[in-house]
Amino acid sequence: MSRVALALYVKNEYSDIAGWLAWHFSLGVDTIFVFDDHSIDGTVNILNAASKKFDVRLYSTHPEKIVDHDKRHGECLKLASDMAKEEGFDWIGFLDGDEYLYLSTVDNVKDFLDRFENFDGVAINWCIYGSSGRVVRPRLPIMKTFTARSQENFGDNVLVKSFIRPECFGNNYKNPHRFYDIPADRYADTFGNPVQWIDATNPNVSWDQARVMHFVCRSMEHFVTRIKRRLNIDLRDSSSYWDHFNRNDISDNSYEKFYGKCEKIFMQIQKSALKEAANILSQQKEEEKEKILTSYDIKAVRKIKTSRGSNLALRKSDGKLVHFSTDHFDESNYCQVYGFFYDNYEEYIHLFAVENNKIFDGFFFVKDDLRVSPLLTYKAEYYEDNLFSLRSISQNVFLSAPGHDVAPEQELECNRREALEWEHFVFDDMYEKEILSNAFEKLIVHNNFNIYDLLHMSKKNIYTKKHMWLLPFISMLSNNEKEDLKYIVKGLLDIYI
C-alpha cells in the first residue's frame, strides 16, 4: 500500500489546526510536513503537542532570507517534496490550513491514490464552503460547524489542489495548484483521465470521487483576522472577498462519514495539548507570598437530577449532555453524569461522566456552551428546598434542561438569562470519591484561588501522568486570570475555557 504525506504551509491557525491534523490523519495520511510562517497565536504549541502523538514534522520559515511570501511558500513545498522523496513516500499532497481533502467513494487516501499507478499527479477540484451564518470561531473541527457550500458550477471551483509523486516536483514551480513539470498525459483528474488544463484550473468540475473542501470564509471572526493579517498583500479592506466566497447554497453533512475517526484523533491532540500546557505552567515563576497554604479535599461526589426528577447522562454517540425521565437507560449508549465540589468551594460544581466505574474518556458538548472538555465547571447558586442552578462562569448564562416530556431524552442547553424551573437541579445519590483520586488533586490555595495557586499546583504535579486535574482549577479562575492563562499557554487551553 502507498505511503502518503501532506505538506502544509500555515500561519496563525490556532483554533483550527488540531482539527485539520485530525481530519487528514483520519483519512489515512502517514506524515504531515508543516511549515509555520512565524505564527504568534499558539499554532506552534498545538503542533508540538500533536507531534507527541502523530507523525507531524514541524519546520519554521525564514522570511528574513526569502522576503516574498509566494516564493517562500514554494520553497517550503519543494523542501517537503524532497524529504518525501528521500524517505520513499509514494505520494505527497499540498494543502493550506483552510483546505480539507474529502473522499467520496473510499475511506482511505491510500485506496484512492492507488487507482493512479500510471500517473504522476492527481488534480482535485475545490469545493467552496461558506460561513453557515457563523460570526464567532468554533471550538470544534470546522467541517462540523460550516456545513453550507457552493454548487459545482460556482466559478472558483475550477481551481485544484494536487497530489504528486515526490520526485516529480520539478524546477518549474509557479503556484501550489498545478505542477508544470508533470506532462499533461501523466496528470489525472479524479476519474483517472488526463486533466484538460486551462492554466492551473480544471474546468470539468466533479466531486463524485473526491474534492478539496475549501473553507475560505469560515466565521466572520476568522475573516476579519485574515483581512488584518493580509491587508494590502493580497486582500483589501473590503467585504467584497467575503461577499464573493460566502457561498451557502447547499447544506452538506457528508463530513459525518469520517468525523467519528476525526473526533477521536482530535481528542488525543487536545489531551496532549493539556499535558503540554501543564508542563509550560510548571516552568513559570510563582509570585512570592507569605500567606499559609491551605489544602482542600473533594467534599462530595453526587448524582445530579433536574428539579422535575429527570436524570442527567452523556450520550456517547456525540458527547451531548441529555436528561431522561427515568434512572434506567442503555449503558452501552449513555454514561451517568455526576458532579463534585471541593470543601469550602461548594459554589463550583464540576460535571463529569462515568463509564464502567471509570471517568469517561471523552468530551462533553452542551448546546451554546462554547467549551469542549471532558469536565465542565459551573458556578452554583443555591435556593430553598435543596435546589440549585448552574451558571456558565465565562458566558454568564444558566444551564437548562428544557421540555416537559423527555422520553426518551432531551438535550441540555446553556443559554438562559435567568434560572426558572428548567434551570433548577438537585443532588441525588452519593458516589464513591475514590473514582476521582487518580484524576483530580487537592485544591491548594493561599487565600482566594488565583493563577499563582495554579502555577504552584503545576509544579507540584509535574510528574502526574493524567492532566485532567488542571480542568476544574482553570474554570475557577476569574475571567481576567483566564486571559492571563491563555497568554502563558497560547492556544493550548482555549477549547477548555
Give the model's confidence band at 27: pLDDT under 50 very low, under 70 low, under 90 confident, else very high. Answer: very high
CATH, residue 168: 3.90.550
Report the pLDDT value the prediction gives residue 382, as an integer from 0 to 100: 96
pLDDT in tens, 378-430: 999 999 999 999 999 888 999 999 986 656 789 999 999 999 999 999 998 77
The answer to the question of residue 63 being in a domain is yes
The answer to the question of residue 274 being in a domain is no
Whether the per-residue pLDDT at 495 is higher than 80: the answer is yes
Report the pLDDT value the prediction gives residue 358, as an integer from 0 to 100: 84
Determine the average pLDDT of the residues in 106-115. 98
230 and 375 in a common domain: no
The answer to the question of residue 81 being in a domain is yes
The answer to the question of residue 273 being in a domain is no
Determine the average pLDDT of the residues in 190-216. 98
pLDDT > 70: percent of the chain = 91
444 and 318 in a common domain: yes
164 and 44 in a common domain: yes
Its domain, for residue 289, covers: 285-496
Determine the average pLDDT of the residues in 139-156. 95
CATH, residue 388: 2.80.10.50
390 and 243 in a common domain: no
The answer to the question of residue 405 being in a domain is yes
The answer to the question of residue 135 being in a domain is yes
Whether the per-residue pLDDT at 103 is higher than 90: the answer is yes
pLDDT in tens, 342-368: 888 899 999 999 888 888 888 888 999
- Residue ending a domain, among 251, 268, 295, is 251
Report the pLDDT value the prediction gives residue 456, as an integer from 0 to 100: 75
472 and 356 in a common domain: yes
SS (H, E, C) the chain: CCCEEEEEEECCCCCCHHHHHHHHHHCCCCEEEEEECCCCCCHHHHHHHHHCCCCEEEEECCCCCCCCHHHHHHHHHHHHHHHHHHCCCCEEEEEECCEEEEECCCCCHHHHHHHHCCCCEEEEEEEEECCCCCCCCCCCCHHHHCCEECCCCCHHHHEEEEEECHHHCCCCCCCCCCCCCCCHHHEECCCCCECCCECCECCCCCCCCEEEEECCCCCHHHHHHHHHHHECCCECCCCHHHHHHCCCCEECCCCHHHHHHHHHHHHHHHHHHHHHHHHHHHCCCCCCCCCCCEEECEEEEEEEEECCCCEEEEECCCCEEEEECCCCCCCCCEEEEEEEEECCEEEEEEEEEEECCEECCCCEECECCCCCECCEEEEEEECHHHCEEEECCCCCCEEECCCCCCCCCEECEEEECCCCHHHCEEEEEECCHHHHCCCCCCEEECCCCCHHHHHHHHHHCCCCCCCCCHHHHHHCCCHHHHHHHHHHCCCCCHHHC
295 and 246 in a common domain: no
307 and 231 in a common domain: no
Domain count, the chain: 2
291 and 246 in a common domain: no
415 and 310 in a common domain: yes
- Residue ending a domain, among 251, 267, 302, is 251
Report the pLDDT value the prediction gives residue 93, as an integer from 0 to 100: 99
238 and 385 in a common domain: no
175 and 50 in a common domain: yes
The answer to the question of residue 469 being in a domain is yes
Of 52-56, 92-96, 205-209, 340-344, the poorest mean pLDDT is in 340-344
Whether the per-residue pLDDT at 287 is higher than 70: the answer is no
- Residue ending a domain, among 198, 233, 251, is 251
The answer to the question of residue 272 being in a domain is no
324 and 422 in a common domain: yes
Mean of pLDDT over the chain: 90
